[in-house]
Amino acid sequence: MSQSPIHQDGNVPSVLQENKKRSVATNKLSLHITQPSDSDNGSYSASDTNNDHFQLVIPQTAQEAQISMGSEITVPCHLSPEVCASAMQIKWFKETDCVCIYKNGHVIEGRSYKDRARLDTPVLERGNVSLHLNKFSVSDVGDYYCQVITRDTTKQITVGVRIKPASQSPTFQDQSVQLMLFETDKVWTEEETDNMDKSALRAEMKVNNEQDTLLNVYIQKSWKKPKRS
């Protein structure tokens, strides 16, 4: 929820009038009050019941990148139309390995991505849920799977990260490479999505190697895959 701006407008005939014109860029609703009084002072909030109606896209401006080895790569993903994602749950995977989870305002890194993965939380308000991964290496090339969950709605997209064919494979730490970043039509198998869910569970529980064996036993005995919408 975000606070709606309050405007004084003596030319509006009604006492309360909701401005139905929505700005897709800001996703804000405005409330107009005429004949304001002291009783109108206070905090106002507006909820948008249609913020489930979005898709995950890759902006055209983010489909190529020149990356130096050891630098930060951005795996792009935006909500379209642009709605606030701050209250949503966001999961990123590299193949079936959990990279990070954004939940309840916090980012949880996957076990293999400690001190490497992050989301730029200030821009979540603008629907930018891109993954930032530092210390880039050739092993980071591959398929990235993003899930955005809000209420009973789950949206997903698979982003391919590839070295452009014309580029040479980097051999030195300071060498750069041209990357292509694009949506793929990869269909993940049920076994792969099960492994994603289990990897995310391990990340959320922050299990160490010693605890992993016990967790595997628990998963094998009681794991039930959550339904996806």
Do 162 and 83 share a structural domain?
A: yes
Residue 155: phi, psi to the nearest 5? -115, 150
Low-confidence ranges of the chain (pLDDT < 70): 1-51, 167-174, 207-229
Do 35 and 62 share a structural domain?
A: no
**pLDDT number for residue 222:** 63
**pLDDT number for residue 85:** 96
Q: Which tokens go with 2?
A: 């975000």
Q: Which tokens go with 97?
A: 């390995």
Helix (H) or strand (E) holding 143: strand 142-150
**pLDDT number for residue 11:** 40
**pLDDT number for residue 14:** 33
Do 128 and 190 share a structural domain?
A: yes
Q: Which residue has the tokens 């628990």?
A: 218
Q: pTM of this prediction?
A: 0.70
Q: Which tokens go with 161?
A: 């990260």
Angle between helices 190-205 and 209-222 (to 10 degrees): 130
Do 170 and 69 share a structural domain?
A: yes
**pLDDT number for residue 150:** 93
- Computed on alpha carbons and rounded to an integer, the radius of gyration of the chain in Å comes to 22
Residue ranges making up the domain that contains 35: 6-40
Residue 40: phi, psi to the nearest 5? -85, -10
Do 126 and 16 share a structural domain?
A: no
Q: Which tokens go with 137?
A: 């290496």
**Are 180 and 61 in contact, with CB atoms under 8 Å apart?**
no
Do 60 and 34 share a structural domain?
A: no
**pLDDT number for residue 165:** 84
